[in-house]
Structure 1
Amino acid sequence: MITPKVLIPMSDYGHDPTETAVPYAAFKKAGFKVEFATENGKAPECDKKMLQGITQKLIGATKDAVNAYKEMSITPEFQRPVSWTSADFSLESYNLVFLPGGHEKGVRQLIDSPIIHKHLASYFPATKKPSSKSVAAVCHGVMVLSETEGADRKCVIHECVTTALPTRFEQVAFWGTRAFLGDYYKTYGAGSDNVEESVRKRLDNPNKQYKNSLGMSPCSRGTRFVVQDEKYNYISGRFPADAQMLARKTIALVQGSVA
Structure 2
Amino acid sequence: MNPPTVIIPIPSHDFDPTEVSVSWKILRDAGCRVEFATPDGQRGYADPLMISGQGLDPWGWIPGLKAIRLVGLLLRADRHGREAYRQLQQDSAFLAPRRYAELKPDDYDGLLLPGGHAPRMKAYLEDRRLQAFVAAFFESVDHAGQAKPIAAVCHGVVLAARSISPRTGKSVLHGRKTTALTWQLERSAWQLTRFFARFWDPGYYRTYGEAPGQPVGYCSVESEVKRALANDADFIDVPKGSADFLLKTSGIARDRLDNPRPAWVVQDGNYLSARWPGDVHTFAQAFAERLLARGGR
Q: TM-score, normalised by structure 2?
A: 0.81
1:132 is displaced (CA, Å) by 6.0
Tell me which structure has the larger Cα radius of gyration: 2
Confirm or deny: 8 A CA contact 2:161 2:172 kept in the other structure: yes
Q: Which amino acid aligns with 1:67?
A: E
2:209 alignment partner in structure 1: 189
* Pair 1:172-2:188 in alignment: yes
1:137 alignment partner in structure 2: 152
* Pair 1:201-2:227 in alignment: yes
**Among 101, 126, 129, the residue aligned to 1:85:** 101
1:222 alignment partner in structure 2: 261
Structure 2 CA distance for aligned equivalents of residues 132 and 254 of structure 1: 11
1:240 alignment partner in structure 2: 277
- Secondary structure of 2:249's counterpart equals coil
1:126 is displaced (CA, Å) by 2.3
1:4 is displaced (CA, Å) by 0.3
* Structure 2: runs of 5+ lacking an equivalent: 57-71, 212-217, 239-247
- Secondary structure of 1:184's counterpart equals coil
1:49 alignment partner in structure 2: 49
- Secondary structure of 2:19's counterpart equals helix
1:182 is displaced (CA, Å) by 1.4
2:241 alignment partner in structure 1: none
1:237 is displaced (CA, Å) by 0.5
Structure 2 CA distance for aligned equivalents of residues 8 and 156 of structure 1: 18
Q: How does 1:84-163 map to 2 (within 5 A)?
A: 84-86=100-102, 89-126=103-140, 131=146, 133-151=148-166, 152-163=168-179
* Structure 1: runs of 5+ lacking an equivalent: none
1:222 is displaced (CA, Å) by 2.6
Q: Mean Cα displacement is larger for which, 192-201 or 34-43? A: 192-201
1:73 is displaced (CA, Å) by 1.2
Structure 1 CA distance for aligned equivalents of residues 12 and 161 of structure 2: 21
- Secondary structure of 2:278's counterpart equals helix
Structure 1 CA distance for aligned equivalents of residues 178 and 265 of structure 2: 8
1:72 alignment partner in structure 2: 88
Q: Which amino acid aligns with 2:185?
A: F
Structure 2 CA distance for aligned equivalents of residues 103 and 211 of structure 1: 21
CA RMSD after TM alignment = 1.9
Structure 1 CA distance for aligned equivalents of residues 122 and 291 of structure 2: 27
Structure 1 CA distance for aligned equivalents of residues 154 and 184 of structure 2: 13
* Pair 1:212-2:237 in alignment: yes
Structure 1 CA distance for aligned equivalents of residues 272 and 87 of structure 2: 26
Q: TM-score, normalised by structure 1?
A: 0.92
Per-residue Cα deviation, 1:68-117 (whole angstroms, up to 9, x for no partner): 1011012111111011124xx31221111111111011111111110011
Q: Which amino acid aligns with 2:249?
A: G
1:53 is displaced (CA, Å) by 3.7
Structure 2 CA distance for aligned equivalents of residues 100 and 144 of structure 1: 9
Structure 1 CA distance for aligned equivalents of residues 19 and 93 of structure 2: 17
1:36 is displaced (CA, Å) by 0.5
1:5 alignment partner in structure 2: 5
Structure 1 CA distance for aligned equivalents of residues 219 and 141 of structure 2: 28
Q: Percent identity?
A: 30
- Secondary structure of 1:116's counterpart equals helix
Confirm or deny: 8 A CA contact 1:145 1:157 kept in the other structure: yes
1:169 is displaced (CA, Å) by 0.6
1:189 is displaced (CA, Å) by 2.9
Q: Which amino acid aligns with 2:32?
A: F
1:64 is displaced (CA, Å) by 2.0
